[in-house]
Amino acid sequence: MASLSGKRITLIITGSIAAYKALELIRLLAKAGASVEGVLTQGGAAFITPLSVEALTGKPAHTAMWDERSYEMNHIELSRRADLIVIAPATAGIIAKLANGIGDDLASSVLLAKNKPVLLAPSMNTEMWENAAFRRNLAQAQADGATLVPPQTDTLACGETGIGKMAEPATILAAIEAHFQAAETLSGKTAIVTSGGTIERIDSVRYISNFSSGKQGNAIALALAQAGAKVSLVVGNTKEPAPQHPNIEALPVESAAEMKAAVEAKLPADIFVGCAAVCDFRVSNKADKKLKKEGGLDLQFEENPDIAKSVGTLPKEKRPQLVIGFAAETDDLIAYAQKKRASKGCDLIVANDVSQGAVFGQDQNTVHFVTKDSVQTLDTLPKSQVAAAILNWIRERL
């Protein structure tokens, strides 16, 4: 058992029969050296008593927004003083609140006020687990940075057999230990991540861009930040909010030229991930005012700088230790990715097929890791898990 000495856990216990397992999880966390504070929803307190949680944690169990025993704003302080927020068991209801920013009780308000990572151990009936609305909520929670400890397939409390049984306390403990181990692996490292699309103006009201949502780049930035790296997230055209983490500095830009300048301003760095969909060309004769349709459009183009190439081909003393580029293609995916890796000087190209509108704006991605010596195809995964795979690739080489 790894030591969790000095680590502070806020444990949210919700209304599932698996709530009784939370008591064993508290015992295991305490044995590993962690300090635990318990938060019970109304449903959680229907299954286990606050007194039992207090007996094992040695601290008051929190059930209400305003506690007569304290003048603190519990929903804020329970997040601020924790190193990790664990929800075990996590019902479909609490995950829906987490995904949609609903704070209508203490537990959901802690999640809404959080500035710390969240780990989920779901517990529910199989039909609920497979429900389309729940799957959307779970995907959103993961995209926002939550870590999932998957449920088991077994006989459930209702007597049915299927997926939905909460992971065992020892498994959840191992996930918590892995979280803290991962959070230290890139400590002291700096990273630059580009995300979203770029905008190339035609005139004062029109522009050329693409369908990139920024979801994958944001997920990568968050994964690196959670692993301890200081991340400069250079964000182009996207409707997605930049992930909130103390290690992330978001730098909004518009054009490819602005993105390149922002990247160069943050060099030197240990890691570069060029996930943004940068327009290959810009309008060289753009107008300062709106062009009238009566005059027609006579657009002239010039090539934009290749940001990944400009970083990947830097002299060794200035180049990041790892340079990762992306290849979004509609045909001959691997061949183009291999060509791009060589020409751009990248250590890794993450290749994805974007034909028929796939990938852009979606919550899942199917990628291939293309290096000088190999091609690795990953399963279709949530973009947060693609980010985790990229993080693991980086860890192994740093």
> Active-site residues: which are they?
158
Q: How many of the other CB atoms lie within 10 Å of CB of 208?
A: 17
Alpha helices in 32-121 (DSSP H): 42-47, 50-57, 74-80, 92-100, 106-112
Tell me which residue of 7, 49, 51, 50 sits closest to 28, measured CA to CA. Answer: 7
Of the candidates 371, 328, 368, which has an alpha carbon nearest to the alpha carbon of residue 347?
Answer: 371
User: Residue 69 and residue 16: Cα distance in Å, rounded?
Assistant: 27
Backbone angles phi and psi of 207, in degrees to 5 = -155, 165
Ramachandran class of 214: left when φ > 0, alpha when ψ lies in -120 to 50, beta otherwise? left
Q: Are 271 and 189 in contact (CB under 8 A)?
A: yes
Q: Pairing state of beta strands 84-90 and 118-122?
A: parallel
Q: What is the rounded CA–CA span in Å between residue 16 and residue 36?
A: 20
Three-state DSSP class for residue 362: coil
Identify whether the C-beta of residue 120 lies closer than 8 Å to the C-beta of residue 148.
yes
Tokens of 21: 């397992």
User: Could you give the C-alpha distances from 284 to 298, 301, 305, in angstroms and in order?
Assistant: 11, 5, 13
Nearest Cα residue to 224 out of 255, 183, 253 = 183
213-219-220-221 Cα dihedral, nearest 10 degrees: 100
Q: How many CB atoms lie within 10 A of CB 49?
A: 12
Residues contacting 305, CB < 8 A, separation 6+: 256, 257, 260
